[in-house]
Amino acid sequence: QTATGQAPGLAQMVEAGELPPVVERVSDEPEVVEPLNAVGDYGGDLRIYLRGSSDHNHILRVVGPQGLVRWDPDYTEIVPNVAESFEVTEGGRVFTFHLRDGMKWSDGEPFTADDIMFNIEDLVMNEDFAPTPPRYMSGGEPMKVEKVDDYTVRFTFKEPYGDFLAELASPLGQHPVLYAKHYCSQFLPSYNDSLDKLIEANDASDWQNLFLQKCGDLEIPARWGNPERPTLDPWVIKEPYVGGTTRVVLERNPYFWQIDTEGKQLPYIDQVVAPVDQDVESLILSVIGGNVDFGLRHIDPPSNRPVLAENREKGDYRFFEAKSTGGTDMSISLNLTHKDPDLRELFNEEDFRVALSLGMDRQEIIDTVMLGEGEPWQQGPFEDHPYYHEQIATQYLEHDPERANELLDGLGLERGEDGIRRMDNGEPVTFQVDVIPTFDPTWVDSLQLIEQQWAELGVDMEINPMERTFFYERTSNSNDHDAAVWRATQSWVPGQIPQMLVPVHHDSRYGIAWRDWYLSGGAEGEEPPETIKTRLELYEKARGLTDPQERIETFHKIADIAAEEFEVIGVSTAVPTYGIVKNDLKNVPDSMPSSWYYPTPSPTLPQTWFWQDE
C-alpha cells in the first residue's frame, strides 16, 4: 500500500512546491498501521506537559523511541518498527534487519544502512565518544555489524543473545538509528577538518560537547534541544527543550514513514505542545483546568485520584488505566553486605527477614496509605502474567506477629526492659531505613505504619528520610545504609533488569557490594555467596535465550532460589495507575501497560490519535 493522503498543511506546501508529493516523501514500503478504533482526521494539538528539567523522557514517551523494533501495544511481542522486517538466526547470534526502501529522515534525506553503520561504528563503538554499552556486547566482545546492502544490515554476536531485540525495543536500544549521518557527521573530527571553528562558534567545550549539543543522546534533554537535527520521529522539535524554556513544541514530520489503512500519512495530530511547569501541583491544576490532553506521568499517584476524578467533567477528560507490569511499588531491602558485622549477621538471618515480613500488617497499610488499592505482595509478576511465580510473590504475606515473635525468639534476640530486642552483643535491634520522601510520598507514610508494627515485635526501626542524592550516594555507592526502600515494579520480561532477583544494578540495595563485584568482574566489591553466584550465572544464560518458554523457565529457577533466600520484603502489588485523556481524543486505549521499557504510551502509537467532537 502506498501513501495517498496527507495533512492539509502539507498538501498546501506540496502545491506551493515546497515539498515533494506525499508518495515520494513516505517510503515505498511504509508501515501500514491499523488504528485502534477508527481512521482519523488531521489536525489539532496534543497538549502534554513537562515537569521542570530532566523531564525529556516524557517527550520520548509520547514521540516514541522509534528504534529498529518496538513492543506491540500489549507489551508481549516485539514487532518491526523502523526496520521493515528482521530475522534471527544461528541460535540467537545473528540478527538481520531489512530497512524500508526510500525511507527519509525528517529533512528529506534518505535513510539507509549507511546511517546505521555510522551510528554503530562512529559513535557506539567509538571509545572517544562513549564506552560501548553492554547491550551491544556479548561474551565480553562487542557485536559486529555489516552492511549487506543499502537496505539490509546484519548484527552478529559472539554468544547467543535472545534479549537483544527487547533491548532494541526499549528506549535505551535506539542507538542504531539515532543519528542522521548526513547531519551529525559534521560534528565528528573524523568527518570534519575545521571542527574547531564550529566548536568555538557554539561556545562548546570540546567536540563531544558540541555533538551532544547538536545531536543529543538517548537520555539527555539536549536530544530535544536542536530543531535542525533530522529524526525518524512522527513529530520533530520546533520550540526546543533548552534550559529554562517555558514551552516545548513539536510539529509533524512531513517525511514520517507510517500510514493508516486508508493510506493517510501519520501522524494525525499537527503539533505536540508541552508547557514546562515546575511543580506537580500546578500540573494537576492544569489538568483540572482542562489544559492537558493526555497525562499520566507525575500525576498518577492514587492520592491525586479523587481530585482528578472529581473534576473530570470540568476538565472534559476521562481516565484510562495504566497497568503495572507486576511487582511492588515499595520493597524494603536490608543491607546484607552491611559494613557493621553485627547488623550484617543479624540481617543475614533469613528468619529475621521472614519475621519482619510476618510482622507487617499489609492490609492495614494498603487501606490507610494506598486508599485500599492493591493487595499484599512480595515481588514479581502478577498472576495473569506468563512469568508469574507464586512463591516469590506470595510467601510470608500474612500478618502473623505471633510467628514473627517466635522466629525472633528463636534467634536468641531477647527483649530488653524497653521492649526492644537485644543482639548477642547487648546492643538493641535498631536500624534505619533510608528513604526519599519526595520520591514517593506513600513510602514514608507506609514506613510510619511499619515502624509501629515492627515495634510490636521488639524491633526498633527508624525512618531516615533524606534527599535523593544523599540517598543514592549512601545506598548505591558507599554502601553505608542499614536498609533502604525502593520500588520493584517488574515482570522480568526481556529488556528489564531484575535487580531484586540478582544484584546487578545500583537499585539492588540488599547487596551493593555483590553488585560491585559482579560489574567489575571480581575486581571490586565483595565476592557473593553461592546462592547469588548461581543466580548470576542463570541470569547471564537467560539473556541469551531466544525461546520464550525456556527463558521463563530459567527465570523461574532464579526466582526459586531468590524465594528461598528471601532477600527483599515487599508490601503490596504495584497499584494500577491511571492517566487522563480528553474525551474528544480518539484511538487512545482504555488500558495500557505502564513501564519504562515499553515505554508508555508510545507503543499505543500516539501518531494514530486524533480529535473528533462527540
Partner 1 sequence: MLLFYIGRRVLWAIPFMFAVSLIAFALISAPPGDYLTTFAATLAQSGDVVDEARLDALRERYGFDQPFIVQYLRWIGGVLQGDFGISFEWQQPVGQLIWERMALSVTLALATLMFTWAVALPIGIYSAVRKYSIGDYFFTTIGFIGLATPNFLFALVLMYVAVVHFGSDVSGLFSSEYQDAPWSLAKVGDLLSHIWIPVIILGTSATASLVRIMRANLLDELYRPYVTTARAKGLSEFRLIMKYPVRIAINPFISTIGWAFPQLISGAVITAFVLSLPTSGPLMLQALLAQDMYLAGAFILLLCCLSIVGMLVSDILLAVIDPRIRFR
Partner 2 sequence: MTGAIIVLMFYLVGAFAEILAPFDPNESSSANIYHPPQMVRFIDHDADGGWSFSPHVIGMTMERDKFTLKTTYTENPEDKIYLDFFGKGEPYKLWGLIPMERHFLTTENSDERFFLLGADRLGRDMLSRTIYGTRVSMSIGLIGVGLSLLLGLILGGVSGYYGGKVDMFIQRIVELVISLPTIPIWLGLSAALPQDWSPLARYFAITIILSLVAWTELARVVRGRFLALRTEDFVTAARLDGCKRGRVIFRHMMPSMVSHIIASVTLAIPVMIIAETSLSFLGLGLTPPIISWGVLLKEAQNIRSIAQAPWLFAPGGAVCLAVLALNFLGDGLRDAADPYVQDSH
List contacts with partner 2 (CB under 8 A): 281, 284-285, 288, 302-307, 309-310, 364, 367-369, 371-373, 432, 434, 436-438, 444-445, 448-449, 451-452, 462-468, 470, 474, 480
- The Cα–Cα gap between 468 and 336 comes to 22
Question: Which of the choices partner 2, partner 1, none does residue 76 contact, using the CB cut-off of 5 to 8 A by kind?
Answer: none
Whether 75 and 300 have beta carbons less than 8 Å apart is answered as: no
292 to 321, contacts with partner 1 by CB under 8 A? Answer: 297-298, 311, 314
Grid cell 528506549 — which residue? 171
CB of 466 to partner 2, least distance (A): 6
Nearest to 593 by CA among 51, 76, 33: 76
| Residue 131 vs 426, nearer CB to partner 1 | 131
Please list the alpha-helical segments (H only) found in 420-483: 441-457, 468-471
Question: Which of the choices partner 1, partner 2, none does residue 298 contact, using the CB cut-off of 5 to 8 A by kind?
Answer: partner 1
- Binding piece for partner 1, criterion CB under 8 A, among 63-71, 257-265, 275-283, 371-379: 275-283
- The Cα–Cα gap between 171 and 175 comes to 9
Residue in 27, 106, 208, 573 binding partner 1, rule: CB under 8 A:
208
CB half-sphere exposure, 190, CA atoms < 13 A: 9
Q: Which residue type, as a one-letter code, is found at position 364?
A: E
Q: 435: which 3 cell numbers?
A: 528513604
Please list the alpha-helical segments (H only) found in 202-349: 207-215, 280-288, 305-310, 312-315, 341-347
SS3 assignment, position 362: helix
Contact pattern from residue 89 through residue 128 relative to partner 1, giving x for each residue in contact according to CB under 8 A and a dash for the rest: ----------------------------------------
Q: Is the peptide bond before 275 cis (omega within 30 degrees of 0)?
A: no
| Residue 170 vs 594, nearer CB to partner 2 | 594
Whether 562 and 501 have beta carbons less than 8 Å apart is answered as: yes
Contact pattern from residue 57 through residue 76 relative to partner 1, giving x for each residue in contact according to CB under 8 A and a dash for the rest: xx------------------
Nearest to 339 by CA among 492, 475, 149: 475
Q: Is 286 in the site for partner 1 (CB under 8 A)?
A: yes
Contact pattern from residue 519 through residue 538 relative to partner 1, giving x for each residue in contact according to CB under 8 A and a dash for the rest: x-------------------
- Binding piece for partner 1, criterion CB under 8 A, among 88-96, 109-117, 241-249, 254-262: 241-249
Residue in 64, 160, 225, 302 binding partner 1, rule: CB under 8 A:
225
Give, in order, the Cα–Cα distances in Å from 53 to each of 104, 498, 602. Answer: 31, 28, 21
127 to 146, contacts with partner 1 by CB under 8 A? Answer: 130-131, 133-134
Q: 110: which 3 cell numbers?
A: 534518505
The sign one gets for the Cα dihedral 278, 279, 284, 288 is negative
Question: Which of the choices partner 1, partner 2, none does residue 197 contact, using the CB cut-off of 5 to 8 A by kind?
Answer: none
| Residue 35 vs 225, nearer CB to partner 1 | 225
486 to 505, contacts with partner 1 by CB under 8 A? Answer: 489, 497, 505
Whether 513 and 344 have beta carbons less than 8 Å apart is answered as: no
Question: Which of the choices partner 1, partner 2, none does residue 131 contact, using the CB cut-off of 5 to 8 A by kind?
Answer: partner 1
CB of 450 to partner 2, least distance (A): 11
Residue in 193, 194, 418, 469 binding partner 1, rule: CB under 8 A:
469
